[in-house]
């Protein structure tokens, strides 16, 4: 390539697509779409600054910097490196087109909706609220052991060469069907051993039905637990109520303490749903960590149509970003001091930014993950269980509908989401949740445009934190290596 470049001194350089940020008194570039992050110093930083002001020819750049005392060979080598890393681009830069869609996508995880029933009636629930898409008429309320075992067989069969597999138990309230969950864990362990697969488990629960027997079972089988809870009694009970309107906090708090005390073999995290009424991030985080004892807490806004009362409007989302940011700085201070902090929204984003993901799809739905409804219908993910869209076959009748899956993946690839093509956050965001898009815009393929500013703001905060950690305590990043 350098021969071509030498033959064409008029080759014109422009800045490549990137997001620039400063942290710990250093300049960084987050490159798009590769997801690579470089710290910019010396000649490289000066070059990008010059080219940002105006596009420059190779000859201009060499002349400009050689007049300022740089060696020509050094300038040319740096220029080539910036071009190859796509920090700069030119009309001669090579950009191989992406392969769409993936040719092979072995299954890694299934989410079993073992029941569509729930003993709570949380106002915002996507399975029961006004925005529900599930059509449960004619579907059993509880998944049978037989259907669950067929789902395990499907997972093993569709996993191809993958060794580590995962089953998530979900609901409704999962523990309403604990008997099938228990028998499925035992079945999957046996079948995993026979087929050379390592199968791990997790469960999402509202914690109302946790007993000592269940906790011991979770601990014995190293089952990861996610507890849905929205904070202290006052905040939690605004939305998370029983059918008669009573709040759930006083029932779950002692059970959660017992769970955290007895179950030590896998992670137990709290998952908070933010709404217009419940959004005091710091207060919720403090309560769940210091009062209840959770190690990790993750937050997510409720998926809702804009006309729901609990929908968080733009202004409130901005406030939430501010409080997220405040808590994120606390994470940074902990990280710089080499300490663990439980705000998982930061650690999850840092993990993705550090590995430099460049996603073709926003999540694993339809790629490595599929949901299974109570009757055995396969769906895009658990949020589409028994919904009219995102159907992907049946665990007994023919298994995964590969044609539907392929069709979905080709129409939902980031390359087909035109709204995202000029956004610097697309390597991480990739257009956002299919379910969110469907509820908001009526199409699974719709980019979550109502979150764009939020996502860019959040990724910018996390990039700052990553940059700062990389300068002040780089060994902290080792935990994100694998």
Partner 1 sequence: MSRLNPVNKKARKVEQMIDAARGDVEALQKKSKASPGRIYYPMGCTLNFTPGWEVDNSGGTAGLCQPVERDLFDCYLGCGWPAQVPDHLNNAPDWTDKCSSAVNDWRKVDVVFP
> Which residues of this chain interact with partner 1, rule CB under 8 A?
28, 31, 34-44, 74, 77-78, 81-82, 84-85, 87, 353-358, 466-467, 470, 477, 481
- The alpha-carbon radius of gyration of the chain (Å, integer) is 25
Nearer to partner 1, 84 or 211 (CB): 84
Tell me the C-alpha to C-alpha distance, in Å, between residue 370 and each of 2, 176, 278, 444. Answer: 47, 22, 31, 15
Could you tell me the smallest distance in angstroms from the CB atom of residue 42 to partner 1? 5
Pairing verdict, β 56-57 and 12-15? antiparallel
Which 3 state secondary structure label does DSSP give 52?
helix
Could you tell me the smallest distance in angstroms from the CB atom of residue 354 to partner 1? 5
Nearer to partner 1, 39 or 406 (CB): 39
CB proximity list for 270: less than 8 A, separation 6 or greater: 226, 227, 228, 229, 288, 292, 294, 296, 297, 298
Nearer to partner 1, 74 or 186 (CB): 74
Nearer to partner 1, 36 or 416 (CB): 36
Could you tell me the smallest distance in angstroms from the CB atom of residue 89 to partner 1? 14
Could you tell me the smallest distance in angstroms from the CB atom of residue 361 to partner 1? 18
Could you tell me the smallest distance in angstroms from the CB atom of residue 33 to partner 1? 11
H runs (alpha helix) in 290-393: 314-336, 344-355
Q: 253 with 208: CB under 8 angstroms? A: no
Could you tell me the smallest distance in angstroms from the CB atom of residue 97 to partner 1? 17
Q: 401 with 392: CB under 8 angstroms? A: yes
Distance CA 95, CA 32 (A): 12
Could you tell me the smallest distance in angstroms from the CB atom of residue 67 to partner 1? 18
Distance CA 123, CA 125 (A): 6
The helix or strand, by DSSP H or E, that contains position 110, with its residue range, turns out to be strand 109-113
Exposure string of 89-118, with b = 16+ CB inside 10 Å and e = fewer, is bbeeeeeeeeeebeeebebbbbbbbbbbbb
Nearer to partner 1, 42 or 442 (CB): 42
């Amino acid at each position: 390539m350098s021969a071509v470049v030498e033959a064409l001194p008029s080759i014109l350089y422009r800045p490549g697509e990137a997001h620039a940020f400063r942290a710990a008194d250093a300049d960084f570039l987050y490159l798009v779409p590769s997801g690579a992050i470089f710290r910019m110093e010396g000649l490289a930083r000066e070059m990008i600054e010059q080219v940002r002001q105006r596009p420059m020819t190779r000859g201009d750049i060499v002349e400009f910097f050689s007049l300022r005392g740089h060696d020509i060979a050094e300038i040319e080598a740096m220029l080539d490196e910036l071009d190859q890393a796509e920090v700069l681009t030119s009309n001669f830069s090579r950009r191989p087109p992406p392969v769409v869609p993936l040719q092979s996508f072995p299954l890694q995880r299934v989410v079993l909706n073992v029941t569509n029933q729930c003993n709570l009636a949380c106002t915002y629930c996507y399975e029961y609220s006004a925005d529900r898409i599930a059509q449960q008429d004619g579907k059993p309320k509880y998944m049978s052991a037989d259907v669950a075992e067929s789902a395990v067989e499907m997972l093993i069969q569709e996993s191809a060469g993958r060794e580590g597999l995962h089953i998530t138990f979900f609901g409704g309230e999962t523990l309403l069907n604990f008997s099938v969950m228990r028998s499925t864990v035992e079945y999957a362990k046996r079948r995993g051993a026979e087929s050379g697969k390592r199968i791990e488990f997790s469960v999402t629960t509202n914690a109302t039905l946790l007993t000592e027997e269940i906790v011991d079972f979770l601990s014995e089988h190293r089952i990861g637990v996610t507890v849905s809870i929205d904070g202290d009694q006052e905040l939690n009970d605004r939305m998370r109520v029983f059918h008669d309107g009573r709040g759930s906090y006083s029932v779950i708090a002692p059970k959660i303490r017992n769970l955290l005390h007895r179950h030590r073999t896998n992670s137990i995290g709290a998952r908070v749903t933010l709404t217009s009424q419940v959004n005091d991030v710091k207060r919720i985080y403090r309560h769940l960590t210091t009062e209840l004892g959770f190690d990790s807490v993750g937050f997510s806004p409720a998926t809702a149509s804009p006309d729901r009362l609990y929908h968080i409007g733009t202004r409130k989302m901005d406030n939430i970003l501010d409080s997220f940011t405040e808590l994120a700085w606390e994470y940074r201070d902990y990280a710089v001091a080499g300490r663990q902090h439980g705000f998982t929204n930061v650690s999850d984003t840092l993990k993705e930014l550090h590995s430099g993901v460049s996603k073709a799809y926003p999540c694993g739905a339809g790629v490595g993950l599929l949901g299974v409804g109570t009757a055995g219908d396969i769906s895009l993910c658990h949020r589409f269980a028994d919904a009219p869209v995102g159907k992907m076959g049946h665990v007994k009748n023919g298994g995964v509908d590969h044609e539907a899956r392929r069709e979905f993946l080709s129409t939902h690839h980031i390359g087909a989401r035109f709204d995202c093509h000029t956004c610097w956050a697309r390597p991480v965001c990739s257009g956002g949740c299919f379910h969110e898009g469907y509820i908001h815009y009526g199409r699974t393929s719709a980019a979550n445009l109502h979150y764009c500013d939020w996502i860019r703001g959040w990724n910018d905060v996390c990039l700052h934190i990553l940059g700062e950690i990389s300068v002040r305590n780089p060994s902290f990043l080792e935990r994100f290596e694998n």
